[in-house]
């Protein structure tokens, strides 16, 4: 099987747009005069950064759903675990500047009368360790969960249900105060990252650029995976799993590998999300959040990668507008959008645009064909 070129037309467009965003957003925030049409206010920078993190999360879901047929309704769990790993690092940076001025224990532990730091908090005062946990914790959970699920050949709707049960169970567990992770309130009141104030405009710009770079890197990684021989096997599993297994491929190994990789990408998205929004709490585990990610991918175009990014950006921009203007209608709008896309655009926005372009090209070629024949005859 031949592999596809990594830098095709779609990749070039995606990377060009991301590069433009990484340049234009800081320029519009720092160089354009306040009040001008080109000025981007400070509160919009972390909002755009949040959208970019959601796009990386959607990309991770498209990798397994669009190319391997694994519909996960619990990817919000991996996103949130990555967020908690980063949140623990940020909490350790507060030190004596907290409300209770304890140099070691976070405020919520002092309030709950904890006497010492739990063992699983050790090392989170060092960013490289926290970054490693951002990858290892979601990856380890996905590996263990996937090992039992794929080995038992759990597929289809049954797999979707147990992933949803997994994230719901984690949400209930993290709500408990004795988990040592802030309980219902979660982790918040962050002060700085690497010595730089989290709320400073320059820090937010850097976090936005890092999020864009992570999205570009994640896209290139996913593009390389799906274009390789490994990716061809994933597509074969999606289209005909029993036949692929009959040909001698260890289907469960391929599924486990791509599921673990996808979870790690989701963890990175969560880690970049937390310092930009300033909080992480158990509500991020809510199954509805994971279902919403699937809607982003479906709207943009399942199995296209670029469509997942597009869907996440468009749906979240619409959510921001709806929840401000018509908050009571947002869930109806989201449900209606999903139904509309399922019925009339099953391949999503990007797939519909591709079909329209192909039909237009065919019509153009059909018009030119009689003319070329006439000229040849003359």
∠ Cα 259 262 265 (to 5°): 155
Compute CA distances 84 → 18, 70, 107, 273, whole Å: 27, 25, 16, 10
Q: pLDDT at position 374, please?
A: 52
Q: pLDDT at position 36, please?
A: 86
Q: pLDDT at position 8, please?
A: 82
Q: Are 53 and 211 in contact (CB under 8 A)?
A: yes
pLDDT one digit per residue (tens) for the chain, 378 residues: 444 567 788 899 999 999 999 999 999 998 888 888 889 998 999 999 999 999 999 999 999 999 999 999 999 999 999 999 999 999 999 989 999 999 999 999 999 999 999 999 999 999 999 999 999 999 999 999 999 999 999 999 999 999 999 999 999 999 999 999 999 999 999 999 999 999 999 999 999 999 999 999 999 999 999 999 999 999 999 999 999 999 999 999 999 999 999 999 999 999 999 999 999 999 999 999 999 999 999 999 999 999 999 999 999 999 999 888 888 888 888 889 888 988 888 889 988 888 788 788 788 778 776 555 455 455
- DSSP for 315-340, written as a single string: HHHHHHHHHHH-GGGHHHHHHHHHHH
Compute CA distances 40 → 202, 208, 257, 312, whole Å: 13, 13, 41, 21
Q: pLDDT at position 371, please?
A: 55
Helix (H) or strand (E) holding 274: helix 251-277
pTM for this prediction: 0.93
Cα(378)–Cα(373) distance, integer angstroms: 9
Q: pLDDT at position 365, please?
A: 79
């Amino acid at each position: 099987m031949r592999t596809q070129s990594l830098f095709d037309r779609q990749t070039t467009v995606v990377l060009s747009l991301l590069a433009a965003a990484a340049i234009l957003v800081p320029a519009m925030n720092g160089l354009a005069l306040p009040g001008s049409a080109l000025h981007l206010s400070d509160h919009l920078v972390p909002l755009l950064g949040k959208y970019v993190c959601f796009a990386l999360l959607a990309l991770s879901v498209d990798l397994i759903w669009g190319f391997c047929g694994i519909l996960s309704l619990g990817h919000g769990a991996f996103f949130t675990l990555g967020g908690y790993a980063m949140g623990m690092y940020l909490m350790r940076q507060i030190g004596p500047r907290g409300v209770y001025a304890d140099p070691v224990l976070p405020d919520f532990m002092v309030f709950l009368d904890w006497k010492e730091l739990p063992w699983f908090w050790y090392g989170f005062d060092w960013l490289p360790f926290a970054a490693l946990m951002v990858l290892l914790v979601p990856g380890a959970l996905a590996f263990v969960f996937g090992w039992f699920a794929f080995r038992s050949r759990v597929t289809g709707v049954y797999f979707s249900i147990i992933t949803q049960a997994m994230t719901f169970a984690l949400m209930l567990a993290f709500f408990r105060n004795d988990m040592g992770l802030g309980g219902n309130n979660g982790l918040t009141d962050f002060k700085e990252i690497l010595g730089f104030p989290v709320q400073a405009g320059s820090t937010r710009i850097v976090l936005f650029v890092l999020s864009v770079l992570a999205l570009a890197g994640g896209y290139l990684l996913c593009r390389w995976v799906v274009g390789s021989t490994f990716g061809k096997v994933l597509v074969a599993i999606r289209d005909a799993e029993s036949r692929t297994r009959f040909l001698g491929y260890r289907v469960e190994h391929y599924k486990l590998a791509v599921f673990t990789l996808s979870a790690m990408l989701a963890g990175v998205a969560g880690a970049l999300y937390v310092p930009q929004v300033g909080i992480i709490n158990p509500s991020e585990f809510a199954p509805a959040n994971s279902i919403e990610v699937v809607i982003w991918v479906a709207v943009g175009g399942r199995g296209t990668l670029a469509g997942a990014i597009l869907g996440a950006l468009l749906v979240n921009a619409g959510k921001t507008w709806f929840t401000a203007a018509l908050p009571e209608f947002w869930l109806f709008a989201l449900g209606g959008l999903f139904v509309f896309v399922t019925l009339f655009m099953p391949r999503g926005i990007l797939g519909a645009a591709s079909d329209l372009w192909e039909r237009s090209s065919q019509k153009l070629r059909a018009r030119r064909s009689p003319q070329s024949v006439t000229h040849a005859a003359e």
